[in-house]
Structure formats: C-alpha cells, structure tokens
Amino acid sequence: MNYQHKGLSQGRWKQMSFLDQMANIGSEVERALKWKEKGNNSYSMNAFERALELLDLTLDSVNTFPRRKEVARVREALVDYFFGTNQFKSSPESWRSYFWHFNYAARKNH
C-alpha cells in the first residue's frame, strides 16, 4: 500500500495513545468537512483518504474488542457519510462533536 503517512505507518502510530490517534483522525475529518463545505471535492477527498488511512492504522494497533468495534463503526459511518447514502444520518456537526471529545482528552493528557 502507498501510505501518505509514511512515518506513522512504519510503527510510530502504534506508539501513540488511542486518544492521540483518534484526535489525529479527527483533524483529517475536520479538513475533509471544511473542504467539502467550501466546494473543493478534490481536497476533501484527499483529507478523507488520509483519515481512512489513519483509521486503518488504528484498527491494526488496537488490541481490545470494544476499541476495534468503535473504530470499525466510525470507519463504516464515515464512508457512508462521504460516499454512501448517509443511512446513519451523520452531519458535519455530529462528526465534529464526536472527535472533539478525543481532541479535548488528548490535549488534557499532555
């Protein structure tokens, strides 16, 4: 696979806490949402693909079932929001709210 986050894919990602991983994924999702709102689908899709890459790296690094399940559901819902029929009724606000909590917790721990 051709990773956009080459340093992270070579093991650095697994050294990060789950909160930091999710906060970083949230940053890419935020970029994808902002570019989508500005009408720049190309930039939005690039950020979305980076978010998917980070989600996949997270799936490879978490070792508890509840976390794997949560990350897999987030991935499923994000793909549905950006490419599907939005059957989960996601909105930019719901994504921002979801990832905001990880960002807050990650910053609080540093």
pLDDT digits (tens, 9 = 90+) for 15-67: 999 999 999 999 999 999 999 999 999 999 999 999 999 999 999 999 999 99
Please measure the distance between the N-terminal and C-terminal CA atoms of the chain and give it in whole angstroms: 32
**Coil, strand or helix at 68:** helix
Phi-psi region of 77 (alpha: psi -120 to 50; beta: other; left: phi over 0): alpha
Express each pLDDT in 55-103 by its tens digit.
999 999 999 999 999 999 999 999 999 999 999 999 999 999 999 999 9
* Amino acid residing at 93: E
Beta carbons of 8 and 97 less than 8 angstroms apart: no
Structure confidence at residue 11 as a pLDDT band (50, 70, 90): confident
Task: Report the alpha-carbon distance of residue 63 to residue 57 in Å, rounded.
Answer: 12
